[in-house]
Amino acid sequence: MLITSAFIREGSNIEVFDTALQAVLQAGSLRSVLIPNVVENKNFAFRSFICLNKYMNEAETFKRIFEECKTIAVVGLSSNPFRPSNGVASFMMKKGYKVIPVNPNETEVFGAKAFADLSSVREKIDLVDIFRRSDEAGSAVDEAIKIGAKAVWLQEGVIDKAAAKRAEDAGLLVVMDRCWLKDFMKYGG
């Protein structure tokens, strides 16, 4: 979390400041912002804000995950070769990563035993890659925190800001609403 402040001279337009801040958000430099207060006196206005998830979805985070996380539990991994989880996990394995399937509806994927949940996996997991609906992602993130994973990756279209914050607060690297394969092609290869 980064705490940032800005002084705005009297007569400056606070709406212009807010518009610029929104542009930074939309560009992806910051993921969310809380603006708790504006303190004004006759000479200046002081605006403080807290930028959450400053390092989420940045190239450095991707690179660290690609370099440091070699054992990946894929939550929601399907044996169906037409499902995105199957294609991404297959690519991971081709790149030398160990993939552990986590899906209560599967018994085996890619010749490996599928586990019902992360707690059932007996080996150390570096990254938990989540292919679940957004409203189900939080429980996988909480399990990732509980088992001591280094990172969580919520795949493209999977968005749970509260769960991402819990993971960051627990010290995990966090990526949200991004495709592991696409980012590996751009940053990892």
Residue-wise pLDDT for 53-84, tens only, equals 445 778 899 999 999 999 999 999 999 999 99
Q: What is the mean pLDDT of residues 10-15?
A: 50
Q: How confident is the model at residue 29 (pLDDT cuts 50, 70, 90)?
A: very low
pLDDT the model gives residue 34 = 42
Q: What is the mean pLDDT of residues 132-145?
A: 97
Considering all CA atoms of the chain, what is the largest pairwise distance in Å, rounded to the nearest integer? 71
Percentage of residues in the chain having pLDDT higher than 70: 70
160 or 42: which leads in pLDDT = 160
Backbone dihedral region for residue 53 (phi beyond 0: left; psi -120 to 50: alpha; all else: beta): left
Checking if the pLDDT of 2 tops 50, the result is no
**Torsions phi, psi for 24 (to 5 deg):** -65, -40
**Torsions phi, psi for 53 (to 5 deg):** 60, 40
